[in-house]
Amino acid sequence: MDVATLSVNSSLLSEVSTYRPVSTRRIAQVAQSAGTGQREQRRLQRQDLGRNQLLDAAEEVFGRKGFHEASLKEVAEAAEFSVGSVYSFFVNKDDLFRQIFVRRSAQFGPALRAALDPRHGRALDQLHRLVDVQVGFFREFPRFGRLYLRYANATTMWVERSIDPELTASYREWQALEADTFARGQGAGEIRAGEPSVLARLLTGIVASYQASDPAVLSDDPDPGEAFPLADLHDLIEMAFRA
C-alpha cells in the first residue's frame, strides 16, 4: 500500500516515510521517565505500607488503653516510627482515630454487599451469610473489633467525639441493604412481618451483642473457643425472623 493512502495525519506520515535514528539523548529521556515512574511507584508503596503500620498500631493501642488514655507517642513506638513521622500520614490524633474506622469500613462494605446480593439464594440465606461476614470480620481483625465495641454504637453508628459523615453514610447504606433484604424476604413469604428497617436494626443489635461476648475478639488466647456457638446464633436468627 502506498504511504499516501494511509489514514494517518501528516506529521505521522513524515515520521513513517522517513526513518531517523533515535538520539541517545531521547533514549536517556525515556529511560529517566521510566525510572521516575518506578521510583514514584515505590515511594507510594512505602507510603501505603507505613500508613497501614500506623493504623494497625493505633487499633491495638487505642483498643487496649482507650483513645483518651493513649498517646501518639505510644502509637508511634508500637509501629516503630517517630512521633514526627505520624504527622506525615495523619493530621492529628483525631484524624488517626477516624482513619482506623474508614479503612475497615472500606474493607467491610464489599463483603456485606456480596452477602446480600439478591441474585444468590433466598433472602433468609442472605441474612445468614451476612451474620457470617459480620462475625468473621471481627474475628479476622480482633483489635479493630475491640476498638469498635469500645467506641461505636452498633444501632446508630455513633462514634465517640463526633459523628463522621463518611462513616454514617456507609452505615446507612448497609442498613438500607439489610432492610431491602428483609422486604424481599417478606414478599417471598420467607420472613416474618414487620417494618423492614426495624428488623434490620434488630438483626444488627443481635449480632453486635454476640460480638461483644465473642472470645475470639476479646481474648488473646490463640484458641479461645466460643462462649455461644456460631451455629446456635444462626438458629436464633432463624427463629427470630423466619415467617
pLDDT in tens, 11-60: 333 333 333 455 566 656 655 665 667 777 776 677 778 899 999 999 99
With a cut of 70, list the residues of the chain below it in pLDDT.
1-36, 43-44, 153-163
Contact status, residue 116 vs residue 126, Cβ threshold 8 Å: yes
Secondary structure class of 23 (helix, strand, coil)? coil
* Residue 25, pLDDT score: 66
Query: What class has domain 92-241?
Result: mainly alpha
**Residue 211 near residue 134 (C-beta atoms within 8 A):** yes
Q: What does residue 153 show for φ and ψ, rounded to 5 degrees?
A: -95, 115
CB 238 within 8 A of CB 124: yes
Which amino acid is present at 194? G
Supply the pLDDT for residue 57. Answer: 95
Listed in order, the ranges of the chain carrying CATH 1.10.10.60 are 19-90
Q: Which residues of the chain are in CATH 1.10.357.10 domains? A: 92-241
3-state secondary structure 96-136: HHHHHHHHHHHHHHHHHHHHCCCCCCCHHHHHHHHHHHHHH
φ, ψ of residue 190 to 5 degrees: the values are -90, -30
All cell numbers assigned to 237: 436468627
Q: Which CATH class is domain 19-90?
A: mainly alpha
Q: Which three cell numbers stand for residue 103?
A: 479503612
Distance between CA atoms of 4 and 82, rounded to whole angstroms? 65
pLDDT at position 13 is 30
DSSP string, 140-169: HSHHHHHHHHHHEETTTTEETT---HHHHH
Selection from 139, 55, 61, 62 nearest residue 100 by Cα:
55
Asked if 214 and 229 touch (Cβ cutoff 8 Å), the reply is no
CB-based contacts of 217: which residues, under 8 Å, 6+ apart?
138, 139, 142, 145, 146, 149, 211
Return the pLDDT at 150: 85
pLDDT at 43: 63
